[in-house]
Amino acid sequence: MIKAILFDIDGTLLHTGGAGAVAWQRAFLELYDVEANIEEHTHAGMTDPEIAEIVFREVLGRDGSDVERAEAIGCYLGHLANAVAESDGYFVIEGIEELLPRLVEQGVLLGVVTGNIEPAAHIKLARGDLDKYFGFGGYGSDSRSRTALTKKALERGAEASGKPLDLERTIAVGDTPRDVKAGHGAGIKVVGVATGSYSVEELTDAGADWALEDVKDGFPA
């Protein structure tokens, strides 16, 4: 019986309709007067600090300093709320709005594990009224390594529950091979859902313990 579940956000719980890319573009336009289309330079599952690093290198042609990258992330965050609010393509993925309250009623502890920095995660979740289901998480602001931030989510889950989480009864849910690798690296099983950029076959090949079309397709809890 599953006792705790860590959900990825983008592509797993919701789609922002490209709001994150819009916010990054606005940030680099404001700071450096350059067009930065992150979709040309990044892949699903990357952390926000990784994205900032790549945009500096591939768009500006240099490695930004720690201060410059922090400023870029701050500027991105300043634009994100409006970008999410304005997005016509934002939607909560089918089945999620039914699944989360059912899991809460069953006593399952819910957290997030995401490459978003923590304030960005809350902005994205809030529009879909999903923030209320998650009491803890691991975020891109904790580490650029998805395995490390997954381990951080497990630590915070232990703090929230008052005891260490039973790794045999804890799973992660994500839509990319990076999510699969991170969950396994943190010692837990992973549900791969083909609601993002990757197919069931690709998630199976990545080693997902369950690979589903969506959360309605035989979700293991």
**Domain CATH for 9:** 3.40.50.1000
Phi/psi of residue 212, each to 5°?
Answer: -125, 155
Q: Which two tokens stand for residue 216?
A: 């309605």
Quote the number of domains for the chain: 2
Condensed to tens digits (0 to 9), the pLDDT of residues 152-179 reads 999 999 999 999 999 999 999 999 999 9
pLDDT per residue as tens digits for the range 124-148: 999 999 999 999 999 999 998 999 9
Contact 211/174 with Cβ under 8 angstroms? no
Rounded distance between C-alpha atoms, residue 143 and residue 47, angstroms = 8
- The residue among 86, 113, 140 that closes a domain is 86
Q: How far from 193 is each of 58, 79, 91, 96, 118, CA to CA, in Å?
A: 30, 29, 16, 12, 23
CATH number of the domain bearing residue 30: 1.10.150
* 221 is a domain residue: no
Domain boundary at 86, 110, 125, which? 86
Query: 71 and 174, same structural domain?
Result: no
> 112 φ, ψ to 5°?
-115, 150
Identify the domain boundary among 86, 105, 138: 86
Same domain, 99 and 66: no
The answer as to whether 217 is a domain residue is no
The answer to whether residue 128 is domain-embedded is: yes
Tens-digit pLDDT string for the chain (221 aa): 899 999 999 999 999 999 999 999 999 999 999 888 877 777 777 888 888 888 888 888 898 898 999 999 999 999 999 999 999 999 999 999 999 999 999 999 999 999 999 999 999 999 999 999 999 999 999 998 999 999 999 999 999 999 999 999 999 999 999 999 999 999 999 999 999 999 999 999 999 999 999 999 999 98
Backbone angles phi, psi at 162, to 5 degrees: 85, 5
DSSP symbol at 6: E
On whether both 24 and 63 belong to a single domain, the answer is yes
- Phi first, then psi: what are they for 50, rounded to 5°? -65, -40
Q: Which residues constitute the domain of residue 28?
A: 19-86
Specify whether 25 is located in the same domain as 11: no
